[in-house]
Amino acid sequence: MNDVFFVGVDSGSQSTKVFIINQRGEVVASADQPLRPMINRAVGWVEHPGDDLWESLKTALRRLLDRFPGDRDDILGMGLCSIRCCRVFLKPDGELAAPVMSWMDVRAYETYEDDPAIGYTGSTSGYLTFRLTGEFRDTIANAFQHQFPVDMKTWAWSEDRDYFDRFRIPQEKLFEAHLPGEILGRVTAAAAEATGLPQGLPVVSTANDKAVEALGTGLMDPDAGLLSLGTYITAMIVGTEYRDATGTFFTNLASVPNRYLYESNGIRGGMWHISWFKGLFGDETTHGLLETEAATVSAGSDGLLIVPDWLAPAAELFKKGVMIGFDRRHTRGHIYRALMEAIAMRMKNNFDAMNADLGAVPRKLVVCGGGSNSRLFMQIVADVFGLPAVRNVVNGAAALGAVISAAVATGFYRTYDEAVGNMVHEKDAYEPDCERHARYTRINEGAYTHLSMMLDETLRTIHEAYEVNH
């Protein structure tokens, strides 16, 4: 059988990444386009400038299709994955009525205030679907439950009028909601000209970016957990029923219809903590040296501990990142390793708290995102969690998850299980070292779990004395 192909779109906070992947899950071509820096017109506002999401998607797709060595007629469909928790306001004709609010924008979670100039409000995936197809349709699984009146049990807009009305969004200003894995429309002539995509190509509904990423890692079995190392870091396990949030997790709609993801508390800013530190050293050669130097540092970084709160939540603006425990032994390699250890320990604690509430006992941890490219980070994760840490051949899990959705929606595979079995392939696994795991456990339980709370009063005082008055 000749190969067939699918386009996978991963529209993120920092860049737009696009892939062409065949039916075996092999990447045939890829391209990306960095997004422009966010703009902050007021405190707490974080916006995407201009029409950056669409412009970057057009550029990335044109570059991708120029690199594709095959016949474009063999591309069967496109899966579209985009950032969750953003807020988009469109005019009645589908043009942007205001800059797209990032998930980091405090206004993205405020109650909707009606404006006659606004024809629709929804997610970034709904907006990009319109740009590609001309249809005002979106996946219900990218309607975040604190922003839109979604019924998490029926996978539709809520029919409970009291609940619906709390959001104050007129029904006619919501996108038409569809399940993941449905064809939302087809690429228009205008979009084909702008992107290089074949006109008429099916555009397939997926879910929110974390859920699509979970599908792309093959997270179908409750025996496995997922650590997603992105701009927002979180951990997930799968389930078959909606569970009320407990404070240690919330329930997320999966990229497979009528399945759920339980998602732990996370780290805002995520892998930006690492890129921030690398950015202090402009030379790419130095970046490689940081990894080498950190690998020579013993587990626990000789007593250096870091609280990874560089990006405080809106309700706790006093929180800040902290490095504590310095002495003359410490080098940049210690700081680099301690950042990785901080992320791993914070996420282990969040993961364990979620699993305790759910009664879950995962036996392995799949790791995805840019951080998983680091062999050192993978080993630290395995040692801290005390679980095998697995990474897959295709690290662009969100794009692969989008492709899996397209493969099922277009009928190439009958089920998600069949598609995952054929398209997701494990690359390697890192086994935990018993001695290092024991050391991390002593550090974590004896000091790290209490560190953030112990520092809160001091950070509040600093915030009130300095930040509030400047």
Q: Give me the domains of the chain, ranges plus CATH numbers.
A: 5-205 (3.30.420.40), 220-393+425-470 (3.30.420.40)
Q: Which band of pLDDT confidence, cut at 50, 70 and 90, is reported for residue 402?
A: very high
Contact call for residues 416 and 215 (beta carbons, < 8 A): yes
Q: Is 126 exposed, middle or buried (0-12, 13-18, 19+ CB in 10 A)?
A: buried
- Residue 210 to residues 7, 237, 243, 347, 399, Cα–Cα distance (Å): 18, 12, 18, 16, 11
pLDDT one-digit tens code per residue, 41-99: 998 899 999 999 999 999 999 999 999 999 999 999 999 999 999 999 999 999 999 99
Which residue type does 470 have?
Answer: H
Render 204-234 in DSSP notation, one character per residue: E---BHHHHHHHHTT---TTEEEEEESSEEE
Render 293-348 in DSSP notation, one character per residue: HHHTSPTTGGG-EEE--SS--GGGTT---EEE---TT--HHHHHHHHHHHHHHHHH
Q: Mean pLDDT over residues 382-395, rounded?
A: 96
pLDDT one-digit tens code per residue, 409-467: 999 999 999 999 999 999 999 999 999 999 999 999 999 999 988 999 999 999 888 76
Residues 6+ apart with CB under 8 A from 375: 430
Residue 308 has pLDDT above 90, yes or no: yes
Residues 6+ apart with CB under 8 A from 251: 152, 239, 242, 243, 244, 245, 260, 261, 262, 263
Contact call for residues 348 and 444 (beta carbons, < 8 A): yes
Smallest Cα–Cα separation from 104: which of 46, 49, 148?
Answer: 46
pLDDT one-digit tens code per residue, 334-368: 999 999 999 999 999 999 999 999 999 999 999 99
Residue 390 has pLDDT above 70, yes or no: yes
Q: Between β-strands 232-239 and 260-264, what pairing exists: parallel, antiparallel or unpaired?
A: antiparallel
Q: Which band of pLDDT confidence, cut at 50, 70 and 90, is reported for residue 370?
A: confident
Whole-number pLDDT of residue 287: 81
Contact call for residues 75 and 101 (beta carbons, < 8 A): no
Residue 196 has pLDDT above 80, yes or no: yes
Whole-number pLDDT of residue 349: 97
Q: Between β-strands 75-82 and 202-204, what pairing exists: parallel, antiparallel or unpaired?
A: parallel
Percent of the chain exceeding pLDDT 90 equals: 89
Which residue type does 19 have?
Answer: F
Q: Mean pLDDT over residues 115-138, rounded?
A: 97
User: pTM for the full model?
Assistant: 0.91
- Residue 99 to residues 27, 147, 313, 445, Cα–Cα distance (Å): 33, 17, 21, 44
Give the separation between CA 425 and CA 12, rounded to whole angstroms. 23
pLDDT one-digit tens code per residue, 254-263: 999 999 999 9
Whole-number pLDDT of residue 44: 85
Q: What are residue 247's DSSP bridge partners?
A: none
Tokens of 331: 């080098």
Q: For tokens 């709160």, what's the residue?
A: 309
Whole-number pLDDT of residue 274: 94
Q: What are residue 226's DSSP bridge partners?
A: 236, 366
Q: What are residue 19's DSSP bridge partners?
A: 8, 30
Residue 1 has pLDDT above 80, yes or no: no
Give the separation between CA 181 and CA 141, rounded to whole angstroms. 11
Smallest Cα–Cα separation from 96: which of 50, 138, 34, 36?
Answer: 50
Tokens of 457: 């009063």
Which own/partner contact pairs does 372-380 have at CB distance under 8 Å and 24+ positions apart? 372/229, 374/291, 374/340, 375/430, 376/291, 376/294, 376/295, 376/337, 376/340, 377/229, 377/340, 377/344, 378/430, 379/430, 379/433, 380/299, 380/337, 380/340, 380/341, 380/344
Q: Which band of pLDDT confidence, cut at 50, 70 and 90, is reported for residue 14?
A: confident
Whole-number pLDDT of residue 470: 57
pLDDT one-digit tens code per residue, 150-164: 999 999 999 999 999
Whole-number pLDDT of residue 469: 60
Which residue type does 261 have?
Answer: L
Q: Is 5 exposed, middle or buried (0-12, 13-18, 19+ CB in 10 A)?
A: buried
Smallest Cα–Cα separation from 167: which of 138, 144, 141, 140?
Answer: 144
Q: What average pLDDT is seen over the chain?
A: 95
Whole-number pLDDT of residue 273: 95
Whole-number pLDDT of residue 468: 59
Smallest Cα–Cα separation from 441: which of 352, 309, 376, 327?
Answer: 352
* Residue 198 DSSP label: P
Q: Which band of pLDDT confidence, cut at 50, 70 and 90, is reported for residue 10?
A: very high
Percent of the chain exceeding pLDDT 70 equals: 99
Give the separation between CA 254 and CA 277, rounded to whole angstroms. 33
Q: What are residue 15's DSSP bridge partners?
A: 34
Give the separation between CA 15 and CA 57, rounded to whole angstroms. 9
pLDDT one-digit tens code per residue, 205-253: 999 999 999 999 999 998 999 999 988 999 999 999 999 999 999 999 9
